[in-house]
Structure 1
Amino acid sequence: MGSGHILVYAFDVLIQLYVAEGFRERDAVELILRNNLYGLDIDKRAFQLAYFALMMKARQYSRRILNKHIKLNVYTVPGEAGISESDIKLLPMNFPDQEKAFEDLETLVTNFKYGSDLGSLIEFKDIDFENLKSGLNTENISLFDDDIRKMVCVGELLQQKYDIAVTNPPYMGSSGMNKILSDFVKKYFPNSKSDLFGVFMERLEKMVKSSGYYSMITQHAWMFLSSFEKLRNKINKQTIVNMLHLGTRAFEEIGGEVVQTTAFVISPADYKNYSGSYVRLVDFENHKLKEEKTVAVIEKENTDYLYTTTQNNFTKIPGQPISYWVSENLIHDFVIGKRMDEVVTPKVGLQTGDNNYFLREWWEVEHDKIKFDAKSIPDAVESGKKWFPYNKGGSFRRWYGNYDYVVNWENDGQEIRNFVDDKGKLRSRPQNTEYYFKEAITWPLITSGGLSVRYREYGSIHDVSGMSAFSDNVDVIYYIIGMLNTPLGNNILRILNPTINSQIGDFRNIPVIVNQKYEIINFVQQAILLTKEDWDLNENTWNFKISPLI
């Protein structure tokens, strides 16, 4: 619940609903506090702020509310209380079912042992809280009475189902989690373990009734990245009711953040053929514009950034990205086309372990120690050369170019293959070596300026950032390069992954409708030839002959 902003806003909404049903405001206030609003947090200061904010909001509508001593349904999640199994059995409490009560109390104590780390991710099932509350309502006081009461209250909140669950969850990648949290999410939330916001998406879905809704604002990574594919598979069996795809700077007043965010409402129920509404705000540069554009949608003005589509369309695209803006014709291409990896073979390449040590720009080393035209590993070894062209990706450039680096691959990469750290652990990864020195399709890992695909002549070793794909048929290579260097090729990649990193997995999923006549091959060859001539006019290239100005 954080410091309670969502609870306070929900209070205002609920007051309007109660008044519309004929309740007096002061009566509605008490009903809302007792029956409608629930919140949890692991931070005691956040809890205190939320409690205060909620009571002040209640005071706005009812002057006497502070005199009623209402206990709010907001709590901090209990942590290690130092209560043992033997302590529980010594509690002087009388329960209708004493054996069941002690069993349930043990479950609560065990699960809340790491409550300060796990918070509301903790789940309870089949605990008889009515039985526990009957025993706790006695006048008996024990050393651990307050701790037990709190565990029972919070445990009940974590077990019951809600009509609506809303949160701005914590954002934390797996690398930032401590061991307790990391082990927990790996075991209980394997589909969303990459980031805590994804874990909370699954947790909230479990907390609401099948007829209910859960709403969140998260990073948009879950919509596209392969690490969240299993999570998307689950969500596409539910119903996305609506979404504001906010993009960056949605909250500029509080820091100008550049995190890509999305806000959504989802129902756990699968409403077949439901057309969800998606507002695409990623292209609007600040929070004020995003707000104005959202208001325009609410007021039903004509907008070209409002999309409606069914989730069935997402399942037709490999990886099931939430690509709501894609046209029916393009979705049809995914259905009828071949996957890219059925046409060419995408492969990642060499990871040296230390590029500063093993790489040089070609002009930094002795020219006669470079083998520019090796066609295979045996050819490279037989040459006796130390340095070989290295495809590292590079800047935006289509068709041909970025022949800048050479790598130390002397004696079949002997030094790289045996490169270890201080503890003797191998640092390098010479992957897919059977594809080294082959001609290829290549594109850079980072595509912030758009997709740029090039032809790579034989003779190079490819890097993990110089993404590459291979075919024994050079006409196929030309055909794919031509297809991908179109605006449509760039758009398809953005459908599969709109981040700036174009991974091998995204490339594999691009649909290819093969034209057996390869009518574009001649145009592609001309483009490559012209771009090669342009590249070689640069005096920093190894094929430079003479300046065109002379």
Structure 2
Amino acid sequence: MRTTHDFELFCSFTPSYNDGVIRHLIEDVDEADIDVTQGGQVEIIGWLYQYYNTEPHNQVVNISGGPVQKQDIPAATQLFTTDWVVKYMVDNSLGKYWLERHPDSSLRDKLAYQLPSQIAQISDDKRPEDLKIIDNAMGSGHILVYAFDVLMQIYLEEGYSSREAAKLILQKNLYGLEIDRRAYQLAYFALMMKARQYNRRILTDSEVTPHVYVFEDTDAVSEAFLSQFPGETGVALQDVVSQFSNARELGSIINLDEQNYDWDALIQAVKDVTIDDLDVFNLRNDQALLLRTLTIAQVMTRHYDVAVTNPPYMNKMDKALKKYVKRYYTDYASDLFSVFIYRNSQLVTVGGYSAFMTPFVWMFIKTYEKLRRYLIDHQQIDSLIQMEYSAFEEATVPINTFVLKNVVATQPGTYLRLSAFKGGMAVQRDKVLEAIANPDIDYLYRTNQANFTKIPGMPIAYWATRDVFNLFKIETLDSKFRGKEGLGTGNNSRFLRFWYEIKHNSPGWYPYQKGGSYRKWYGNNEYYVDWRDNGKEMKAMPKSNIRNLPFQNSVGITWSAISSGKPSFRYTVHQSFFDSKGPMMFSISHESYMYVLAFLNSKVSEYLLSFISPTLDYRLGQIQKLPFAVSQNNDLDRMVSVNIKETKCDWDSFETSWDFEVHPLLAHIADEQLAHCRSPIGV
């Protein structure tokens, strides 16, 4: 039965007019998104909440350093999911799930964003009311509302009336969870308004309440109330209260895998508690809170046919959250979105689908290698769309959206690579629709995910050819050259100086490699490091990290670990110390530095790194895993030496170089005048 508590949701959200919400709605949102004839009611709600949250979101995510606190998580993680991405996720999960069981369904013609792929034929007796769909980070309900539309098409095709279908969808099909009360209120409202579109009496039907819930901390449940439950029931309820004591922070990642409780029995036991009319100790509040919590626990421990969500993106966790994630999700603890990927892929039944919109870093970098291993071994990546790097302006990270099937992979996945198409999410949408209309388009790929294991680190390199996969069978660079990360000073402002800030030949100060801008062959020699008394003061710093001392103050190859563009590698010429942003590489088998430098600065290396490290993060691990075949070539060594010499000459022609001698405008242009450039040491 719906209560006053439910109806208060419709009137408790008050938008702020001072932070530009209305202006944003008018100026920034596509007119189609608020066209009620095209379903724009939900878009209005979602964008309203997005802009309502803009100021607190910016305040939270711009905090330098520290973790996001519990009370700030909603503002930090609430992002409205673009309409076409919602449709892609639902069409290729719920829509495909139904078509697998009803191959003759006309639903196929109504799924505008279903990617071209093989659809299996599965025989079971699933009826519309048997379908279970959950969004366990539902925000303002956009995904659930579109799932409602798809379900309505299914019901109508099966002969139900729209009025009957609207009621059944809320009663039988849709489930949602959220940590943010305001977002939950909007989702509740949106679903009820969507249902009213088909059933005008739905608001007065006491049997119908959407299965959407907001997490609440259970600290307020008193011992006086819990003490009324004897034996195993009391133990179970105490455990549930403990598990949900920090529910507003943990939300859907609360781990209930070990709890095999009879939730209906626990709910009935709590309902059966008799509370006198005076209720001096407010036990009725305890009862209501515990009933809501048990209902959420029951929702969390069911299995679903489809789970679709845009999970929170957050790696700056406070101490309590980080400890919990490390305890229960060790292999996926780098970010909350990776926890959701793992958890939701297990939340669905065998043969069910989970769909996500997340940052695409999980596809490539080492931090998420265990997640990739799990997905490749246990899930089928059914389809994936990798968007252009800055397409989704609402997030500060590059985005992808993808659908997993809970089976061991047997079929090739369908992949769209949209990285070449700039212009925002509208352009990305148009390119998706083009690929659906023309599956032979050159940015649509089909590949077996087992191929990913052939590349070190198992990146989701779906656009790699067979020749590329075979290339990674040869020896890798780390068999000949050993890369090292260097010093973490603990206080750069104390220990690093530009070379011109210290006296020439000052004792204890040494050249220092720190990465820098794009530059090949030679350059970016700007810093000196204080290593007086063999680094005594630095070693005493609480946050210092003194790595690989035997390799410090050496000559080798360096590069910028984090780049805003293409990779670039340089020969240091001078003996140098180095850090993690400017790692160095040293020969361990007397191979020529010139030959490997030629390889690293080649188009071949750049192309191979597009598979290993397409996120512009050229960390040591990725570089070391490049395939590398040694083939000594004296002519090549000579050409690289010339490149280093001429690049050094260019670097030294400006006063910012410590080897500057004369401005180029004062030097003669004739080739013989290049002699003023010093020859690189050891070249």
1:209 and 2:349 aligned: yes
Displacement after TM superposition at 1:386 (Å): 3.2
Secondary structure of 1:466's counterpart equals coil
- Map 1:299-338; keep pairs closer than 5 Å: 299-300=437-438, 302-335=440-473, 337-338=474-475
1:243 and 2:381 aligned: no
- Map 1:128-167; keep pairs closer than 5 Å: 128-135=262-269, 140=274, 143=284, 144-167=286-309
The answer to whether the 8 A contact 2:177-2:252 is kept is: yes
Structure 1 residues 133 and 38 mapped into 2: Cα distance closer, same or farther (>3 Å)? same
Structure 1 residues 122 and 390 mapped into 2: Cα distance closer, same or farther (>3 Å)? closer
Report the counterpart of residue 524 of structure 2 in structure 1: 402
1:469 and 2:622 aligned: no
Displacement after TM superposition at 1:518 (Å): 6.8
Give the unaligned 5+ runs of structure 1. 92-97, 371-384
Displacement after TM superposition at 1:341 (Å): 1.6
1:67 and 2:209 aligned: no
Report the counterpart of residue 345 of structure 1 in structure 2: 482
Q: Sequence identity of aligned pairs in percent?
A: 39
The answer to whether the 8 A contact 2:381-2:409 is kept is: no
Report the counterpart of residue 194 of structure 1 in structure 2: 334
1:233-282 CA distance string (max 9 Å, x none)? 11111111001112444445xx5x4421111101221123x211111122
Give the structure with the larger strand fraction: 1
Matched to 1:38, the amino acid is: Y
Secondary structure of 1:350's counterpart equals coil
Matched to 2:515, the amino acid is: G
Match of 1:297 among 435, 454, 459: 435
Structure 1 residues 545 and 475 mapped into 2: Cα distance closer, same or farther (>3 Å)? farther
The answer to whether the 8 A contact 1:475-1:521 is kept is: no
Structure 1 residues 139 and 447 mapped into 2: Cα distance closer, same or farther (>3 Å)? closer
1:494 and 2:645 aligned: no
Secondary structure of 1:236's counterpart equals helix
Report the counterpart of residue 16 of structure 2 in structure 1: none
Structure 1 residues 536 and 163 mapped into 2: Cα distance closer, same or farther (>3 Å)? same
CA distance in 1 between counterparts of 2:358 and 2:644 reads 43
Displacement after TM superposition at 1:354 (Å): 2.8
- Farther off after superposition, 80-89 or 162-171: 80-89
CA distance in 2 between counterparts of 1:180 and 1:118 reads 9
Structure 1 residues 43 and 340 mapped into 2: Cα distance closer, same or farther (>3 Å)? same
Structure 1 residues 50 and 308 mapped into 2: Cα distance closer, same or farther (>3 Å)? same
Structure 1 residues 140 and 432 mapped into 2: Cα distance closer, same or farther (>3 Å)? same
Displacement after TM superposition at 1:512 (Å): 1.2
Displacement after TM superposition at 1:476 (Å): 2.9
Structure 1 residues 441 and 86 mapped into 2: Cα distance closer, same or farther (>3 Å)? same
Secondary structure of 1:395's counterpart equals coil
The answer to whether the 8 A contact 1:444-1:502 is kept is: yes
1:416 and 2:538 aligned: yes
Displacement after TM superposition at 1:127 (Å): 1.0
1:7-41 CA distance string (max 9 Å, x none)? 11110010001111121111111111111000111
Match of 1:228 among 363, 368, 382: 368
Report the counterpart of residue 17 of structure 2 in structure 1: none
The answer to whether the 8 A contact 2:653-2:660 is kept is: yes
Displacement after TM superposition at 1:431 (Å): 1.9
The answer to whether the 8 A contact 1:101-1:128 is kept is: no
The answer to whether the 8 A contact 1:224-1:496 is kept is: yes
CA distance in 2 between counterparts of 1:354 and 1:162 reads 51
The answer to whether the 8 A contact 1:104-1:128 is kept is: no
1:166-223 CA distance string (max 9 Å, x none)? 11111111x3x22222111010011121111111112212211122111111111211
Structure 1 residues 82 and 489 mapped into 2: Cα distance closer, same or farther (>3 Å)? same
Report the counterpart of residue 127 of structure 1 in structure 2: 261
1:307-351 CA distance string (max 9 Å, x none)? 11111111111111112122221111112x222221101011122
Report the counterpart of residue 648 of structure 2 in structure 1: 532
Matched to 1:270, the amino acid is: V
Match of 1:268 among 406, 424, 443: 406
CA distance in 2 between counterparts of 1:122 and 1:21 reads 37
- Map 1:321-470; keep pairs closer than 5 Å: 321-335=459-473, 337-367=474-504, 369-370=505-506, 385-418=507-540, 420=541, 425=542, 427-470=543-586
Instruction: Tell me the TM-score normalized by structure 2.
Output: 0.71
Match of 1:277 among 414, 434, 439: 414
Matched to 1:329, the amino acid is: D
- How many pairs does the alignment contain? 516
1:77 and 2:215 aligned: yes
CA distance in 2 between counterparts of 1:189 and 1:464 reads 28
Displacement after TM superposition at 1:516 (Å): 4.9
1:57 and 2:173 aligned: no
Matched to 1:259, the amino acid is: V
Structure 1 residues 79 and 364 mapped into 2: Cα distance closer, same or farther (>3 Å)? closer
Displacement after TM superposition at 1:228 (Å): 1.3
Structure 1 residues 251 and 388 mapped into 2: Cα distance closer, same or farther (>3 Å)? closer
CA distance in 1 between counterparts of 2:522 and 2:219 reads 65
The answer to whether the 8 A contact 2:218-2:290 is kept is: no
The answer to whether the 8 A contact 1:249-1:287 is kept is: no
Displacement after TM superposition at 1:507 (Å): 1.5
Matched to 1:17, the amino acid is: I
The answer to whether the 8 A contact 2:421-2:427 is kept is: yes
Displacement after TM superposition at 1:458 (Å): 4.2
Matched to 1:386, the amino acid is: G
Matched to 1:147, the amino acid is: L
CA distance in 2 between counterparts of 1:289 and 1:388 reads 50
CA distance in 1 between counterparts of 2:639 and 2:447 reads 37
CA distance in 2 between counterparts of 1:147 and 1:353 reads 48
The answer to whether the 8 A contact 2:376-2:409 is kept is: no
The answer to whether the 8 A contact 1:333-1:513 is kept is: no
1:518-549 CA distance string (max 9 Å, x none)? 76323222322332333333344333444453
1:478 and 2:620 aligned: no
1:374-405 CA distance string (max 9 Å, x none)? xxxxxxxxxxx333222222221111222222
Displacement after TM superposition at 1:301 (Å): 5.2
CA distance in 1 between counterparts of 2:293 and 2:489 reads 53
